[in-house]
Every structure is written in C-alpha cells, then in structure tokens.
Amino acid sequence: MICPGCRTLHEGRLDVRTLDRIGDLLSCECGRRYPIVDGVPIVLKDPTGYLRADTMTVVERDLPPDVAALLVEATPDDAPYARLLEHLSIYLDAHWGDRADPPTDHFALASIVGRLAALPHVEHAVELGCSAGRIAGELARHADHVLGLDLQFGTVRRARHLLAGEPVAYARRMIGRHYTPVRAHAGDLASDRITLLCGDALDPPLIPRAFDRVVAINLLDSVANPRLLLNVVDGLCVPGGEIILASPYSWQSSVMPEHHRFGGSDPGAALRSLLSSGELGSRYTIADEAELEWPLRRDARSTLTYRIDYIRATKL
C-alpha cells in the first residue's frame, strides 16, 4: 500500500511513499495517518471525510443477530443501522450463502466462482470492490497473494474475519425489518495470503503495474465514473497480465451522472471496443466471455436476478 494523499508526478515519474504501521495506525512520512479498525486499514485520500459521513459503520459492534434485528424493529426503513443490516444480509448471502447455516436457496456468485476455477496461477492479484470477500477467497486458490479493496467498511470487515477462518454471525432479512440469525464460514477459502482494506476503487492506494490479475466484479455500474475505473484497472495491470470484469450495466442516476455512462443500448460492445482499441492506454485480447446469472436475495419473497457480462482479457 502507498499513501494516496501525497503521491505526485515529477517529470513524468510517479513518486510514491509506502506506509509504515505504528500500532493501529498506518503512517506516511508526509504526516498523513490512516486508521486500522478491527484489522482493516482505512486508506483514503480524505479518511476524515469518509469517517464523518459513515462513522456508524466503522464503529458498530458485532451484536448477536437477534439483538441487531430487535434494534431495527422500531426504526424507519431508511435509518442508517436498518440500511446497514439490509446491506449485510444481501451481500453476505450473495457471497457466502452456500456456506451459511441455514444456506440460501440461490448462491449469487455460483456462476462466477465456476468461471474462476480454471484460472492459471499468478503471483499477485487484486480485486476492486471485494465486498464480503468470496471472490478474493476464490482468487487466492490461483495466486500467491490477493489484495481486496472495498469502500463499504461493514462488509469488508466481516470478510476479513471470514477469510481469517473465523465464523461470522449475521442477520438474514426475511420480510421488512424482520430477520433471522445465520452463521457463515469460509472453510477451505480462509487464507493468510489475502489482505483486505477499505479504500476507493477509483483512487486505490496501490502501486501501478504491480498486479498480474486485476478483477472488478459488478463494479462498473456501482461507481461514479466507470471509464475512470477502467483506467485504474488498466493502470494496475502488468503488461502480459489479465483483467476480469463483469457487470449488468445497471446504470443508476443516484450513482453516476448520465454523461459518464457509455455504450448506449449496448455497453458490452462498447467495453470490448475500449479494450481492443487501446483507448485505455493498452490493448487487450478477450480470453473468455460469457453471459452469467447473478441472483441477489433481498428477502424471503424477493430475489432480483441480473444478467451480467463476464469478460476475461489479456493485456498486450
């Protein structure tokens, strides 16, 4: 990791300063400090701004699921803790529902996990938008070291526990603000070769061209500027390395402005053109592609199924 606050370009060269750990802080010689909370570094250009906006997620405790469910029963649906509990239910189920007790009816990442099983081995892999950590765990089967990054602290903190081999109890949403207790475990996916951090995928605190495999699953339509994300992906990937992208291209005005969307009615074709043409700064050849299902369980009576465009491409 490098300091995202002080990296600068001098005569075409990127000067970077690595971070030193001092207790539960990461420190840069420029004077900036970044907190480590429950084993997860929060490394952002403006960590104080992030903490001001989302302190509750950072300081919330691992309450027993039945206690957490009781706390939200009397709150509005859009209360911060109610939104967090719903988010955790959706994405812990999506990532670990097949390894939960009781399991979910639909494991959202089943088709993607199957695609990753045949990956060749690499030294260094990074996943931008790692969420609850399942893909990072799968990537570690085929890499010496995996770094996972996500901006949602609540999910990445629980991913850290799961991938450290610890079971995680969470509340699964049934109907409205009614939840039932669930317990998930990573099993054989737990690994000491995975590092997780809370950071911005559009400005990651990572050294450019340091990764043999760069992964961004269902992230293009979840950031304010998908073209910038593609530039970041390209910038992190070594020549001869590969990138893995997947998205339903479910653009939302609440996430990104209209002028940052690309491809009109066929974003998939536009993405392939960007990769093959060299517009990102490098050219890519498609090694694998597929249309996959991604069913997100929202509650006991609602599952939203997306069709995602999966692309694995090699950097020339």
Q: What is the 3-state secondary structure (H, E, C) of 15-47?
A: ECCECEEECCEEECCCCCEEEEECCEEECCCCH
Question: How do residues 124-136 score in pLDDT, each as one tens digit?
Answer: 999 999 999 999 9
Q: Is residue 9 scored above 60 in pLDDT?
A: no
Q: How many CB atoms lie within 10 A of CB 18?
A: 12
Round to whole Å and give the CA distance between 41 and 147: 12
**In this structure, are strands 20-22 and 25-27 parallel, antiparallel, or unpaired?**
antiparallel
For the segment 242-249, the average pLDDT, to the nearest whole number, is 98
Of 45, 57, 85, 255, the C-alpha closest to 153 is 57
Q: What CATH number labels 8-315? A: 3.40.50.150
pLDDT attached to residue 46:
87
Q: Which sequence spans correspond to the domains of the chain?
A: 8-315
Q: Is residue 186 scored above 80 in pLDDT?
A: yes
Q: How many CB atoms lie within 10 A of CB 221?
A: 19
Tell me the residue type at 252. Q
pLDDT attached to residue 51:
84
pLDDT attached to residue 67:
95
Round to whole Å and give the CA distance between 261 and 20: 38
pLDDT attached to residue 49:
85
Question: How do residues 207-236 score in pLDDT, each as one tens digit?
Answer: 999 999 999 999 999 999 999 999 999 999
Round to whole Å and give the CA distance between 156 and 69: 21
Q: What is the 3-state secondary structure (H, E, C) of the chain?
A: CECCCCCEEECCEEECCECEEECCEEECCCCCEEEEECCEEECCCCHHHHHHHHHHHHHCCCCCHHHHHHHHHCCCCCCHHHHHHHHHHHHHHHHHHHHEECCCCCCCCHHHHHHHCCCCCEEEEEEECCCCCHHHHHHHHHEEEEEEEECCHHHHHHHHHHHCCCCEEEEEEEECCEEEEEEECCHHHCCCCEEEEECCCCCCCCCCCCEEEEEEECCHHHCCCHHHHHHHHHHHEEEEEEEEEEECCCCCCCCCCHHHCCCCCCHHHHHHHHHHHCCCCCCEEEEEEEEEEEEEEEECCEEEEEEEEEEEEEEC
pLDDT attached to residue 121:
97
Q: Is residue 269 scored above 80 in pLDDT?
A: yes
For the segment 40-56, the average pLDDT, to the nearest whole number, is 88
Q: How confident is the model at residue 30 (pLDDT cuts 50, 70, 90)?
A: confident
Tell me what the pLDDT averaged over the chain comes to.
Answer: 94
- Looking at the whole model, is its pTM more than 0.75? yes
Between the alpha carbon of residue 281 and those of residues 131, 235, 284, 291, the distances in Å are 28, 9, 10, 26
